[in-house]
Amino acid sequence: MGIQFKEVSFAYKGVKDERYDAIIDINLKIEQGEFVAIVGKTGSGKTTLAQHMNALLQPTKGTVNVFDYVLPGHKRQKIGPIRKRVGLVFQFPEYQLFEYTVLKDIMFGPKNFGLKEEEAKEKALLAAKLVGLPDEILESSPFRISGGQMRRVAIAGILAMEPDVLVLDEPTRGLDPKGAQEVMTIFNNMHKEYNKTIVLVSHDMDLISSYAERVIVLDEGRIIFDGPKKELFTHKDFPKFSLAKPKTYELMEYLAQKIKIPFKAIFNQEEILEYLKEIRNE
Ligand SMILES: Nc1ncnc2c1ncn2[C@@H]1O[C@H](COP(=O)(O)OP(=O)(O)OP(=O)(O)O)[C@@H](O)[C@H]1O
Ligand SMILES: [Mg+2]
């Protein structure tokens, strides 16, 4: 079993209006091995929802099951095991770097979960390789490397804990297009090769549509759509969702209209090319 939300609402403490919940009556189930995207306008509750998945926040109403754990748990319930299984990559994760060297920073998580120095180092080196960090920067200060590399260090720190689920809150924000592509390739490999569950929060519909199969749309704290991406763009209320369509999808609509080919929902360039070749040969 993966992650399940049952009737979950959450209100931030100190928010004066007591009726104000950041997420409201959330029901959802994410199975191990899925690649799910969470989208929605700014302030719609995406980060709040994502942070419930590794117990960084706990419901004020309802329950969240994370594997065998139920939240909110009893007072002395340990959160550590949940954090180990569900790694959360924050919006701008590089703000959390703090160790003297890159390697030490990546080792922090595994050590914190009780691994000995040598074992933690082994995991850290493997994670550094997975994210493509060159060996020579492992002994540098994490504050003397480029922003894109800092992001990789932060991601490696999560991967080193070998979580089953990766929750990614806008992991490509602020990166250049090449950097964004590289970071997404890392996550996609984790998904494809290691069967990791991926929960991706993003505003970028091109990114989402090229990787995720299932999309959850939030609006003012509520889920207004949860289903396969192909159904999202043809949903009768789609215009009200204030979401962009992926470029490839728009291109297919354009071609269907202009050169009268049958429309097909396609989410990457190679498939468009294949499709065009296919219909030319018919
Ligand atoms: N620490 C906080 N204290 C009080 N209210 C908060 C806090 N964090 C978020 N909120 C409020 O909760 C609601 C949901 O915020 P959240 O950050 O989950 O949205 P989001 O969809 O992630 O937005 P964005 O796309 O801008 O990242 C917003 O109305 C926000 O103002
Ligand atoms: Mg957010």
Instruction: Give the integer Cα–Cα distance in Å for 279 and 27.
Output: 42
pLDDT value, residue 102: 94
pLDDT value, residue 18: 59
Partners of residue 9 on adjacent β-strands = 61
- Report if residue 169 sits inside a domain: no
pLDDT value, residue 51: 96
Closest-approaching ligand to the CA atom of 24: 1
CA of 42 to the centre of ligand 2 (A): 7
- Report if residue 253 sits inside a domain: yes
Which of 38, 47, 168 has most ligand 1 atoms within 8 Å of CB, for mutation?
A: 47
> What global pTM score does this model have?
0.93
- Report if residue 63 sits inside a domain: no
pLDDT value, residue 194: 92
Q: Count of domains in the chain? A: 1
Instruction: Give the integer Cα–Cα distance in Å for 161 and 87.
Output: 8
Q: Which two tokens stand for residue 256?
A: 């269907």
- Report if residue 131 sits inside a domain: no
- Report if residue 229 sits inside a domain: no
CA of 44 to the centre of ligand 2 (A): 8
> Ligand 1: does its nearest atom lie under 6 Å from the Cβ of 15?
yes
Instruction: Give the integer Cα–Cα distance in Å for 8 and 64.
Output: 7
| Closest Cα to atom 25 of ligand 1 | 42
Which of 46, 60, 92 has most ligand 1 atoms within 8 Å of CB, for mutation?
A: 46
For a pLDDT cut of 90, what percent of the chain falls above it?
Answer: 74
**For residue range 90-134, what is the model confidence (pLDDT) as tens digits?**
887 778 888 889 999 999 999 988 899 999 999 999 999 999 999
Closest-approaching ligand to the CA atom of 26: 1
Residues in the chain with pLDDT values less than 70: 15-19
Closest-approaching ligand to the CA atom of 44: 1
For residue 185, report the phi and psi dihedrals to the nearest 5 degrees: -65, -40
Question: Is the Cβ–Cβ distance between 219 and 229 less than 8 Å?
Answer: no
- Report if residue 219 sits inside a domain: no
> Ligand 1: does its nearest atom lie under 6 Å from the Cβ of 12?
yes
Question: Is the Cβ–Cβ distance between 203 and 170 less than 8 Å?
Answer: yes
> Ligand 1: does its nearest atom lie under 6 Å from the Cβ of 16?
no
CA of 273 to the centre of ligand 2 (A): 35
- Report if residue 200 sits inside a domain: no
Which of 44, 49, 91, 199 has most ligand 1 atoms within 8 Å of CB, for mutation?
A: 44
Tell me how far CA of residue 271 lies from CA of 37, 253, 266, 275, 278, in angstroms: 21, 14, 7, 6, 10
Residue 260 structural domain: 246-282
Question: Is the Cβ–Cβ distance between 82 and 55 less than 8 Å?
Answer: yes
> Ligand 1: does its nearest atom lie under 6 Å from the Cβ of 20?
no
- Report if residue 232 sits inside a domain: no
